[in-house]
Chains A and B, each alone.
Chain A
Amino acid sequence: MSQAPYSTQELMIIATAREIANREVVFIGMRLPITAFGVATLTRAPDAIGLFEVGLARRQPALGTLQTMSDPLNQLGAAWASGLLQVMGTLPGGRVDAGFIGGAEIDRFGNVNSSYIGDWRKPKVKLPGSGGAADIAGMAKRMVVIMNHEKHRFVERVSYITSPGGLAGGDSRSRAGLPWGGVGAVITDRAILRPFGPERELHLASYHPGHSIADVCDHTGWNLKLLPDCAPTPEPTAAEIEALHRVDRDGFWR
């Protein structure tokens, strides 16, 4: 078997970059989405704006690998340096097209848990918590969840909803009072899932090269259904790979 010319993480980065359209305003968390934002600005979205909840906006990612959003490298050349309220206030203001979050658990309606494993009154594991994820999930026009695809993480029901996806499905999100938003895509190391149908349940949209439908379903904790046009995830193009190598100059993701 020949070696693929890209790593699984590089494929995830490129798939994430494809979720950003030109001129969109997007909330980018740490690590993988920052690199994806860089790839997007060099390919399909040269005029996208990236927001950081610590109080920063950028037109391009910083040069070099960041440890945190507040690293001096991320301050240098920022398009806007301000406070958390000013930058995160664009979310309920309805000005944010997409936001990227991670988590420890996700369920079939795309609700994400990053707070407590087990009962929150007596948790088995205390996770760090929401940070800005609940706000991004609630108030971005769409959220993209990036997670490793394991059966114990892709569960029927999360033990705690930190970041609301489709809640109980159907119109339950708008009934809860969230006027817009919801899951746009879930990008994993095996596949891409998207909500579908009147219940807005997560369906298999595409599976990555080297993986099969059966493999993805085996690693999902609910009975995963297929989108009508379910197909292999498109391979990265030469332009996407080149952009990625320009952004990830240290080869962190290779």
Chain B
Amino acid sequence: MSTKLTTLAEAVRTLVRDGDQVVLGAGLEQAIPFAAAHEIIRQGKRNLTSVAPISDMVGDMLIGAGCIAKVVGAWMGNVSAGLGHNYRRAVEQGLPHPIAIEDYSNFTLALALWAGAYGAPYVPVRTILGSDIMASNPKILKAEDPYTKTPIALIPPLRPDVAFLSVQRAAANGDSHVWGNLGVMQEAGMAAERVILLADQIVASEVIASDPNRVIVPGFRVAAVVHTPCGQHPSPLAGHWKRDGDFFTDYHRLSREPESFQAWLKEWVFEPGSPEGYLAKLGRRVEALRIREQALSVPANYGAS
């Protein structure tokens, strides 16, 4: 069987191009593929569009590093610490360069990915009628429902170039398991041209086949699998890793000024040089985040005879 296993550096080099639309925050506040953002910054990718309903500090650091030209999303900041300083600098002062914003709500962004995944030309909704999102995002059109003759909003499809998804475990063939809250992982994985999995563990394909209902994005949609233990740090991963709240708080403080943000980038992105270097730098901090409690689900029987 062919393997999709590769290194993160190779996956980013071959599958992410300047100008791509990239999904990094599909799990919302869990399973954020931070290791991929670090590699994108190290390889100096430019003019990317960030696509995600909410972007915790992963989006903010990509903006500060100059990788992002446009934000397509509903929320950008630092979930537990507050506003995103790099986001504010880019929008308010054009630093390090101006960025464009396409405003959505969480639900309409998710529907745009759903439409991209399943070939819908647009999705008619009522949810954001009356909101100024209708004004600041010119791609969302106002129309009349042909059935009820009442106002509706039309959400156009999104088909991102690349989606990075952090998962608990994956096999070399691209099949994977992910659990906990799923955010828009399925819609992003089904809509994106190229899906790259950051797997906390690599397992035999039989492990995945033992519970196919837990496969959220099928392996045939996956371009590459990268083994990145704790690659979602500092975000959490259900059943595997706790959230490193202090890391978000420290980032918030250090990103307040461009100079201290550059120092942060040097310390946590450039000098570690790779996911392995980053883990080594975290050192014993990683062990304190590892979930040791066992709260196992009862197996589901798929027997056939």
In the complex, are the beta carbons of B238 and A84 less than 8 A apart? no
Q: Which of A50-58, A145-153, A212-220, A228-236 contacts B (4 or more CB under 8 A)?
A: A50-58
In the complex, are the beta carbons of A135 and B238 less than 8 A apart? no
A70 at the interface (CB under 8 A from B): yes
B54 at the interface (CB under 8 A from A): yes
Of residues 216 through 256 on chain B, the ones whose CB sits less than 8 Å from some CB of chain A are 235-239, 241-243, 245, 248
In the complex, are the beta carbons of B131 and A84 less than 8 A apart? no
Could you tell me the distance between the alpha carbons of A160 and B152 in the complex, rounded to whole angstroms? 20
A76 at the interface (CB under 8 A from B): yes
Partner of A161, one of B30, B56, B80, B130: B130
User: B residues within 8 A CB of A85?
Assistant: 107, 110-111, 114, 184, 187
In the complex, are the beta carbons of B83 and A128 less than 8 A apart? yes
A75 at the interface (CB under 8 A from B): yes
In the complex, are the beta carbons of A83 and B76 less than 8 A apart? no
User: B residues within 8 A CB of A237?
Assistant: none
Question: Which label, helix, strand, loop or mixed, suits the secondary structure of the A interface?
Answer: loop
User: B residues within 8 A CB of A127?
Assistant: 83
With A131-B54, A162-B131 already in contact, the answer to whether A84 and B28 are too (CB < 8 A) is yes
In the complex, are the beta carbons of B187 and A68 less than 8 A apart? no
Could you tell me the distance between the alpha carbons of A126 and B71 in the complex, rounded to whole angstroms? 13
Could you tell me the distance between the alpha carbons of A127 and B87 in the complex, rounded to whole angstroms? 9
Chain B residues within 8 Å of A, Cβ to Cβ:
27-31, 53-54, 56, 73-77, 79-80, 83-84, 87-88, 91-92, 103-108, 110-111, 114, 125-133, 135-136, 150-152, 179-187, 235-239, 241-243, 245, 248, 291, 295
Q: List 17 A-B contacts (CB under 8 A).
A: A53-B106, A54-B28, A55-B182, A55-B183, A68-B236, A70-B181, A71-B242, A72-B291, A75-B180, A83-B184, A84-B182, A91-B127, A126-B83, A131-B54, A177-B130, A177-B150, A177-B152
